[in-house]
Amino acid sequence: MLVLLLVALGCEREPEVPDSPRLILIGIDGASPRIVEPLLAEGRLPNLAKIAASGVYGRLRSEMPIYSPRIWNTIATGKTPAKHGIISFFFKGEDEKHHLYASTDRRTPALWSIADDAGFRVGVVNLWNTYPLENVDGVMVSDHVLAKELEARRKMTGVDDEAEVGAVIHPDEWATRLDGMVQGNATPLPGFPSPFAADRVLPHWAPRDEFQRRFDEDGALARMAQEISTVEAPDVMMVLLTGIDRICHHIWGVVEPPELYPPALVPTDEERAGGLAALHEYYEYTDALIGALIEDFGPDDLVMVVSDHGFEAAKGLYTLTGGHDTQNAVDGVIFAAGRGIVPGVEPGEVSVYDVAPTLLAWLGLPVARDMDGRVASFLHVEEVASIETYDTIVPEFLNASEVPSGVEGDIVDQLKALGYVGPE
């Protein structure tokens, strides 16, 4: 049984108990149980195995259609896309042009807003639709932070006055502190070898430079979150690593039978073996980053790792071989350990709607009756209070959504490369 195997894989070293319980939610966009479960069984994901051994592991049910901002906002709010308002990547404005959704388009407060309003200190790194930034007690790093190096932002927007470009890190002193990590692709794992080095064999269509960028960016995001967690010790820490999703869109074909693809997207035997090795090593890299992020969290803290969906064969669009268009890819993963979670219990059915209510209950906050999820059965708390809604909370934004971050063009280019938007 997988649970028993994970107990055996658990690390013997017990972490130090912190002064007061804290919560960390780590998102790993696109992590598929089809890869996670075999690697766990082989002992290749020791940090995730440790979480499962001291808590629970299960599949996290997503909802169609699977667009990352749509699902991650459901995870952050516990509500349907119709309620939270982020239904895709773009919306058509009154000017008949397509615009990226902004944080100001979210119709209901996210977890960090609720926690901040309740008096908790928060740390947020790279969660979807966090530009413009909110004025929270803690540190917030927008999902626009790594679209391009910050020093190029004015050039990209075509403005000369820095004041015309909105902040992507709050507060200002943390912007200065984290800027070097953005520029230098800092990582908590400087010695971890890249699966995409020039001497590695990959499928002939694979964009090696793009893969390396994702490797560097996930390392930088983890390092920023680690710095915030260590220095500020926020009560609620949230970080999203997106590399697995971006890479799987291109390289997933090494997992699937070749007859599902046109000839141009069928790898040679050597390419298949090399690509599969690289994909597995990227999961191992992500697991190692998770280990660095949770190093200072103890048994009374809550550690939760979730993915928003899995992957399946795509239909050969451009150089893409992986997608998440049907129920075959609807399951992500969930790992959770900490106070109130009995090791080895069956997690039961858990959906993306249940993450926010579960985290609120663990924090001792009421669960809103207008949320569409429930507290997961694996969390045992004495009493779960309820409240009608949290929609009375009005987040304070640092600037209006009309103020550019300076990297919108690069975000659109990335979405085009992943097949989410046409050349228009």
Report the distance separating Cα 237 and Cα 355, nearest Å: 14
Q: Is the pLDDT of residue 14 over 50?
A: no
Q: What is the share, in percent, of the chain residues with pLDDT greater than 90?
A: 72
Q: Is the pLDDT of residue 10 over 70?
A: no
Give CATH for domain 23-417.
Answer: 3.40.720.10
Task: Name the nearest CA neighbour of 347 among 59, 71, 75.
Answer: 59
Can you tell me the mean pLDDT for 190-201? 95
Q: Is the pLDDT of residue 164 over 90?
A: no
* In the block, residue with structure tokens 């964009």: 207
Q: What is the share, in percent, of the chain residues with pLDDT greater than 70?
A: 83
Structure confidence at residue 17 as a pLDDT band (50, 70, 90):
very low
Q: Which of 46-55, 157-166, 303-312 has the lowest mean pLDDT?
A: 157-166
* pLDDT 10s digits, 74-95: 999 999 999 999 998 877 777 7
* pLDDT 10s digits, 111-159: 999 999 999 999 999 999 999 999 999 999 999 887 654 444 444 445 4
Report the distance separating Cα 371 and Cα 66, nearest Å: 20
Helix (H) or strand (E) holding 387: strand 386-387
Higher pLDDT, 318 or 125: 125
Q: Is the pLDDT of residue 162 over 50?
A: no
Q: What pLDDT, on the 0 to 100 scale, is given for residue 199?
A: 95
Contact 340, 381 (CB under 8 A): yes
